[in-house]
Amino acid sequence: MKNENLFAALRAAFPADLNAIAVETDNGLNYSWHDLERATAMLANLLVSLKLPAGSRIAVQVEKSVEAMLLYLATLRAGYVFLPLNTAYQSAEIEYFIGNAEPAVVVCSSKNFGWVSKIAFKAGTQNVFTLDDDRTGSLLARAAHCSDKHTVAVKSADDLAAILYTSGTTGRSKGAMLSHGNMLSNALVLKDFWGWKPGDVLIHALPIFHVHGLFVALHGALINGSKMIWCAKFDPKFVVRKMPEATVFMGVPTLYVRLLNEPALDHNAVRNMRLFVAGSAPLLIETFNEWQTRTGHTILERYGMSETAMLTSNPYQGERRGGTVGFALPGVTLRVQGDDGKSIGIDDIGGIQVKGPNVFKGYWRMPEKTKEEFTADGFFKTGDVGKIDPRGYITIVGRSKDLIISGGYNVYPAEIEGYINDLPGVAESALIGVPHPDFGEVGVAVVISKPGASLKSAEIIGVLKSKLANFKIPKQCFVVAELPRNTMGKVQKNLLREQHKSLFT
């Protein structure tokens, strides 16, 4: 049987000279390709030594580090399923993910070991390790005793490789199940489509718990055998300083906004750069234009999702049109449908639906939800609303899902409203997204108190901070007498958005 393990394909793309530098970190460390080979073998052997059942989930909530990336690769290598978790998640969020995914292994930062291990053991997890961003922790200590020779586990394209949790408009987060084949097909298409070539160097400045940093950026560099300049945190000054040594950069729009605030960003700084890719949230046309003026480069905007990896891209060769997300990638079939389920014409607005080898296998243990999100003829309903112009360029004009994208992170109003509504004295609430110069969009809460209750905005925010990831915290909170409603009694969020649209701009 042919081994369709994603790691096998990435490993096969390592350059012949394994002593060459594969990763250079922002704190001055160098890792060779040989180091990557050995460390992933040792970590994979550690996982194998735990005698985990096939399909076991390895849940990981750690700060970004090369070792955290190696743990991802080792999980693929050993044939288990990687489950990355945003470092901003608090205990209630982690309790849900661990309870739902029932991972066999949990890896966390040592500062969180106390509460994370309690949650994990309660959920039946047998193995909890620590991994810190200074190359310490019980995971590495244990792996140090393992052999550095490991035969890559044999997997078929349909076998699960990762689960990414993503929320819906109602209910709790759903785990999107991605296979080795989903990710390898996408990586190979992008390698070709974006013209990756020998000598490319990627500046990796995104977190590694979501599609953009973990798959698009990382797989992109590895499948091309390209060196990465590895940033533990996004620091615009560092990125501009390193640009002369690099050729490719990928970021959410906020990263581009922050880079534009750097006076050192100019034509000279980007003289060796080949490609700037943006995605995960809408790139403002102002940012697109200003980037062109300041650097002479045209940002290539693309569109994707946790459930599908990358779906569309502006062309590498050819016109990159600001405000659009380009064309469906080779192998992806994309259509725009009206509410009546019929395909609609050029420039008509409707729901974006997709099909292709990149589309996920379904939501973890939620067959009914999975069924709801696919059409009878097998298209996945993205929840994004868009149109296709006469030249075939796709524009996303909105979302049918109630979702705020803030600095590239998704915030689901229903989740935050649920927490606010549970507070004593709250009758109801609405969370809306409003424009923000740095994060693109941020959440603002509008809250109605129960008769006689005296609610304070600062107290509401204070309680939310203790329960939710920091990026989900509303940037402002208003306690008001009533919410605008339509004749059906539904809260008119569009009116609230209009009312608060100038709060930050």
Instruction: List residues near ligand AMP by CB under 6 A.
Output: 166, 210-211, 279-282, 301, 303-306, 325, 382-384, 396, 399, 405, 410
How far, in whole angstroms, is CA 225 from its chain's centroid?
A: 22
Binding ligand MLC (rule: CB under 6 A), the pick from 408, 413, 433, 474 is: 408
Answer yes or no: are the C-beta atoms of 230 and 26 closer than 8 Å.
yes
> Does residue number 439 form part of the binding site for ligand MLC (CB under 6 A)?
yes
The binder of 207, among ligand AMP, ligand MLC, none, by C-beta within 5 to 8 A per type, is ligand MLC
Work out whether 46 is an interface residue with ligand MLC (CB under 6 A). no
Residue 103 or 351 with smaller CB distance to ligand AMP: 351
229 binds, among ligand MLC, ligand AMP, none (CB under 5 to 8 A by kind): none
What is the number of the residue whose Cβ is closest to ligand AMP? 306
Q: Which does 213 bind (CB under 5 to 8 A by kind): ligand AMP, ligand MLC, none?
A: ligand MLC
83 binds, among ligand MLC, ligand AMP, none (CB under 5 to 8 A by kind): none
| Rounded least distance, CB 492 to ligand AMP, Å | 22
- By CB under 6 A, residue 280 contacts ligand MLC: yes
Q: Do residues 7 and 40 touch, judged by C-beta distance below 8 A?
A: yes
Report yes or no: 395 and 415 within 8 Å, Cβ to Cβ. Answer: no
Residues 198-227 that bind ligand MLC (CB under 6 A): 206-207, 210-213
Q: By the 8 A CB rule, do 60 and 34 touch? A: no
Task: List the alpha helices (DSSP H) in 105-264.
Answer: 113-122, 138-143, 180-193, 218-223, 236-242, 253-260
431 Cβ contact partners less than 8 Å away, ≥ 6 residues apart: 404, 411, 413, 416, 417, 420, 443, 444, 445, 446, 474
**C-beta closer to ligand AMP: residue 25 or 292:** 292
Tokens of 437: 């110069």
Q: Which residues pair with 179 in a beta bridge?
A: 160
| Nearer CB in complex with ligand AMP: 77/174 | 174
Between the CA of residue 505 and those of 257, 311, 323, 385, what are the distances in Å? 14, 31, 20, 25
The item of ligand AMP, ligand MLC, none sharing an interface with residue 445, based on CB under 5 to 8 Å by kind, is none
CB of 455 to ligand AMP, least distance (A): 31
Q: Where are the alpha helices (DSSP H) in 125-252?
A: 138-143, 180-193, 218-223, 236-242
Q: Is 471 in the site for ligand MLC (CB under 6 A)?
A: yes
Closer residue to ligand MLC (CB): 252 or 366: 252
Give the single-character DSSP code of 356.
S
Q: Identify what 442 binds: ligand MLC, ligand AMP, none; CB under 5 to 8 Å per kind.
A: ligand MLC
Residue 470 interaction partner, one of ligand MLC, ligand AMP, none, beta carbon < 5-8 Å per kind: ligand MLC
Beta strand 275-278 with 300-305 is parallel
From residue 455, alpha-carbon distances to 90, 223, 345, 458 in Å are: 24, 54, 50, 9
Based on DSSP, count helices (H) and strands (E) in the chain, helices before strands: 15, 24
Q: Which does 399 bind (CB under 5 to 8 A by kind): ligand AMP, ligand MLC, none?
A: ligand AMP
Which residue, 295 or 306, has its beta carbon nearer to ligand MLC? 306
Q: Which is nearer to ligand AMP, 78 or 178 (CB)?
A: 178
Q: CB of residue 308 vs ligand AMP: minimum separation in angstroms?
A: 8
| Nearest distance in Å: CB 427, ligand MLC | 26
106 binds, among ligand MLC, ligand AMP, none (CB under 5 to 8 A by kind): none
Binding ligand MLC by CB under 6 A: which of 47, 140, 252, 446?
252
Extended beta strands in 340-497, E state: 350-355, 380-388, 394-399, 404-406, 409-411, 426-436, 440-449, 476-480
User: Contact at 8 Å (CB) between 285 and 298?
Assistant: no
Dihedral angle sign, alpha carbons of residues 142, 143, 146, 152: positive
- Distance from the first to the final alpha carbon of the chain: 58
Other residues' Cβ atoms within 10 Å of the Cβ of residue 202: 25
As measured in angstroms, the least distance from the Cβ of 253 to ligand AMP is: 8
Positions in the binding site for ligand MLC (CB under 6 A) = 206-207, 210-213, 234, 252, 254, 279-280, 304-305, 406-409, 439, 442, 470-471
